[in-house]
Structure 1
Amino acid sequence: MVSVPSVMLNQSVSIPQLGFGVWQMDNTDVVRLVKLAFDAGYRSFDTASLYGNEEGVGRAIAESELTRAEIFVTSKLDNASHGFDEARRAFDEASRRLGLDVVDLYLIHWPLPKLDRYIETWKALETLRSEGRIRAIGVSNFQINHLERLLGGTGTVPAVNQIELHPTFQQEELAVFHRRHGIATEAWSPLAKGAVDEPTICAVAEKHRRSSAQVILRWHMQKGNIAIPKSATPYRIVENITIFDFELDSSDMLAIDALDRGNRSGPHPDLR
C-alpha cells in the first residue's frame, strides 16, 4: 500500500499531500472511481457542491471498510450561497449529501469579488468550525488582495488556498504570500495538458523512466504543494499515486521551475 505524506495545516489538522479530485464525475461514476482510489491508497477526496457529486462521494465512504478517521474529505461552498445565513444553510445541505456530521476541510469555492460577500461568508465558516462541524476552513481561487482583506477583517487565517497551479502556471507571487502567512498551497489542475506535453517534462520523465504526469506530481510534492489530480482511468489513478519511490534532483526541479509562462486555463477569479 502506498504511504502518502501529510501536511500539517495551520489549524492543527493534518491532510494527505496527494488527494483525489472528482470534478466532472457524476454521482454514479464517482462511487466506482472513489472505491478504485481507496484501493490504490488515496485517503483524501476533494469534491464541491458545484460538482453535483457529494452524494456519490458520501456513498462510497459509507460503503468503504475504512474508518471515518482514515478518510479526509474536502468540499466547497456553492457560489450561489455567499452570505452568513446562506453559507450556513448550504453547509447543512452539503453535510447531508455527504452523509457526514463533520467535514474535514470546507472552502469558499470562489471569492466572487463583484458580489463582495466573502468576508461575511468566511465568518459563517468560522462559526461552523467553532461548533465542531468543520475541522479546518479555507478558500479557493483567492488572489492576494482577497486574502489581505480576509486577514484584516476576520480572526482566522485560511488553512489552504486551493488554486490553479501547474508547471506552466505557477503563481509564485501568490505562493510566497501563502508561505509568509502559513497558508498551505493546494493545486487544482496540477496536471494541465499543456504541461504534460512539455518537452522538458517529457525529457525528465524519460530520464527517470516515469510518465510525465508522475514527474509533475513529484514536482508538486517536492515544492511542498498539496495536489489533487483527477482521473477516471483506472491505471492512471494508480499511476498518479505511485510517485513516492523516486525523487527529482535539483536540475530537474530547476528545469521545471523555468516552464512558468502564466498559462492560466481556468477563469480568472476577478472575473467570476
Structure 2
Amino acid sequence: MGRMTRTVELAGGAALPLIGFGTWELRPKTAYESVRAALEIGYRHVDTATLYRNEADVGRAVKDSGVDRQQVFVTTKLRPQDARHARRTLESSLRQLDTGYVDLWLIHWPTGRDDLVPTWQELLSAKDAGLARNVGVSNFSPAQIDLVTEATGQQPAVNQIPWSPAQHGPALLDEHRRRGIAVEGYSGLKNTDLRDPVLNEIAQRHGVTPAQIVLRWHLEHDIVILPRSSRRERIASNFDLDGFTLTKEEVTTIDTLT
C-alpha cells in the first residue's frame, strides 16, 4: 500500500500512521459502522476520547473488524475535569474499548496550571504500567509542553492541535520539530473553505477533490491527519491520498490561504 501506510516515528520508537480516522461527534451506531468501514478501507489508526462517549463502539468495531489489535493504533483522551482521577478514567476507557492498553493517551486540553504537572505524571505512570504505550497532549502550547517536560524529564510524544491552511504556522511546527514531538492536526477540513477557487483549481489539476488536496497538504508537511466522516465514499476518498503529490509551488500556495 506504499505511502498510504506512511508513519511518523514517535520518540519511544512507535510507528504512528499519518492517516488516522477521527470519531468526534459520531453517535454510537454511526461510530461503530464508520470505524468498521475505515478499517475495511485500510485505516490503521483510530482516534477517540472519553468526551466523545463512543469508546465502547470504537472498541467493538476494532474487535469485530478481524484486523489484529496489534495492527490498529488506538488513541483516547483524558478530559481535564477527570485529571484528579486520571488512572481510574483510563481504566474505565480500557473497559469500554475492551482492550488491555491504548497506543496513545492524550490530555485532551490543558488543565489549570497547578494540575498540569501532576496530570502529566499520571500519564507517565500509566505508561510505566503498560496501560498506554505512548502518552501525549492536545491543545498545549510549546510553553506548556516545556513546563511538564522540565518538571518530569519526559516530554509528550504528540501534540494534537487544530491545523488547516488558514490556521497553521511554520514557526509553531518548528517548535514541535525541534523537540521531536509529532503534530496531529485536527479540524483540517472543518476549518477550510472547500469552495476556495485556488483549492479547486489545484484539485482539478490532479483530478481529485479539494478535501483530498487539503489532506494531502498536511501529509506533505508530515502532519498526522484525523479526518472524520460517516459516509463510506468520503471515508474512502479521505484515505485515498496516494495517487498524487503536490508540487512545492502548490504547497506554498496552500500555505498562504487564509
TM-score normalised per structure 2: 0.96
**Map of 2:118 onto structure 1:** 120
One-letter amino acid of the structure 2 residue matched with residue 129 of structure 1: K
Q: Give yes or no for contact 2:164–2:191 (8 Å, CA) kept in 1.
A: no
Matched, 1:111 2:127: no
* Structure-1 separation of matches of 2:196 and 2:144: 32
**Equivalent position SS for 1:32:** helix
**Equivalent position SS for 1:156:** coil
Cα root mean square deviation, aligned: 1.3
**Map of 1:270 onto structure 2:** none
How much has 1:112 moved relative to structure 2?
Answer: 2.8
Change (3 A) 1:119 1:99: same
- Of stretches 128-137 and 160-169 in structure 1, the one that deviates more from structure 2 is 128-137
Instruction: Provide Cα deviations, 1:56-99, integer angstroms capped at 9, x if missing partner.
Output: 0011112121111111100000221113xx11111111111110
**Map of 2:195 onto structure 1:** 197
**Map of 2:142 onto structure 1:** 144
Q: How does 1:1-272 map to 2 (within 5 A)?
A: 3-83=4-84, 86-113=85-112, 116-259=114-257, 261=258
One-letter amino acid of the structure 2 residue matched with residue 92 of structure 1: E
Q: Give yes or no for contact 1:74–1:106 (8 Å, CA) kept in 2.
A: yes
* Structure-1 separation of matches of 2:115 and 2:153: 16
Q: Tell me the number of residue pairs that the alignment of Structure 1 and Structure 2 aligns.
A: 257
One-letter amino acid of the structure 1 residue matched with residue 65 of structure 2: S
* Structure-1 separation of matches of 2:59 and 2:217: 31
One-letter amino acid of the structure 1 residue matched with residue 16 of structure 2: I
**Equivalent position SS for 1:162:** strand
TM-score normalised per structure 1: 0.91
Runs of 4+ deviating beyond 4 Å = none
- In structure 1, list runs of 5 or more residues that go unmatched: 262-272
